[in-house]
Amino acid sequence: MLNSMIRSAKESLKARQASGGPIVKLAVTALVLPWKTALAVKNIIFNSNYRSIVRLLLFSSRKVHQTSSFTSMDRYPVIFSASRDYFQDKQELNILSYGCSTGEEVLTLRQYFPNARIIGTDINKHSLAQCRRLPVDGRMDFIYSSPDEIRKHGPFDAIFCMAVLQRRPHRVAANKTASLAAIYPFERFEETVAMLDSLMNPNGLLIIHFTQYSLMDTKVASGYDILGDYDQYDYLSPTFDVNSQVIPGRKPLNSIFIKKSP
Ligand SMILES: C[S@@+](CC[C@H](N)C(=O)[O-])C[C@H]1O[C@@H](n2cnc3c(N)ncnc32)[C@H](O)[C@@H]1O
């Protein structure tokens, strides 16, 4: 009830701001700004997840990709099943979940790959603390995401990088953002893809799913074949080119890539 009243008040303020003259716009801004500030302060005090994201934006802004920690069990069954089928004759796998959030992805991967060693990594220490409370076996581990730390556990037969290499996809879609240059330039994506590439075993799978850019646009593209036509079928954000500019229309983005043998 309270939530719907707040929502309709927000919508009516937005409508007035959009339709009104400069004085109305100024008055609405003067009302909205203290409201937003109060909300942020409340979240910083009472919401530990929100606090962890503010900390990331303040102290790790050069390293963090997607800040939201949203995740769930078996979030990508089609991609997970295709990856399991690809490795049907190989049991001893070393797998990385890059951006594992609170660990559901690692628990899910265990169901698809019962004999694998699985490392989950995340840059959000608050999420990692939750991972470390999960009931895991001796062949699963969670580590802080830094290239040096990850390298100690590699190389990997499969790297799952799901819903990590992107920024504010919902807001970008809603605002019809034409360029990601200011918030998430292509170079940030490419640099991380190159780092992940350096951790790959030949014939392994690099899975980059739910992302605003394409691996095939990066400098490591020639080292990969595409597996199947697994597109980001239900990804709602627009996608962007090497200049961080929006690609008009929807360009299908593949998700599963096979690292070629040298
Ligand atoms: C939306 S969640 C995705 C979780 C899970 N992979 C999934 O798809 O359900 C994005 C995660 O990426 C993490 N992340 C952002 N930048 C990272 C980085 N540089 N290294 C590792 N994780 C990162 C965030 O902290 C967050 O937990």
Which atom of ligand 1 is least distant from the CA of 70?
1
Q: How far is CA 120 from CA 96, 102, 104, 175, in A?
A: 6, 9, 10, 33
Taking CA atoms only, the protein residue closest to ligand 1 atom 25 is 124
CA of 127 to the centre of ligand 1 (A): 9
Q: pLDDT at residue 242 above 70?
A: yes
Report pLDDT for 140: 98
Ligand 1 pocket check: which of 52, 74, 80, 123 to mutate, most ligand atoms within 8 Å of Cβ?
123
Q: Which atom of ligand 1 is nearest to the CA of 76?
A: 8
Segment 92-110 mean pLDDT: 98
Structure tokens at 227: 């597996």
210 vs 45, more confident: 210
Protein residue closest via CA to atom 3 of ligand 1:
163
- DSSP string of 98-145, one letter each residue: ET-TTTHHHHHHHHH-TT-EEEEEES-HHHHHHHTTS---TTEEEEE-
Nearest CA residue ID for atom 10, ligand 1:
164
Q: In this structure, are residues 227 and 86 in contact, taking their beta carbons and an 8 Å threshold?
A: yes
State the CB neighbour count (10 A cutoff) for residue 7.
10
Identify the pLDDT of residue 255.
Answer: 95
Where do the structural domains in the chain lie, given as residue ranges? 2-46, 77-259
pLDDT surpasses 70 at 7:
no
Encoded tokens for 206 = 């690099």
CATH level 2 (architecture), domain 77-259:
3-Layer(aba) Sandwich (3.40)
Pairing of strands 140-144, 156-162: unpaired
**Ligand 1 pocket: which of 70, 100, 122, 150 to mutate (most atoms <8 Å of CB)?**
122
The answer to whether the beta carbons of residues 18 and 89 sit under 8 Å apart is no
Taking CB atoms and a 6 Å cutoff, what residues make up the pocket around ligand 1? Answer: 63-66, 68-71, 75, 98-101, 105, 121-124, 127, 145, 162-164
CB 102 within 8 A of CB 69: yes
Q: Look at 250 and 157; give whichever has higher pLDDT.
A: 157
Q: What pTM, to 2 d.p., does this model score?
A: 0.88
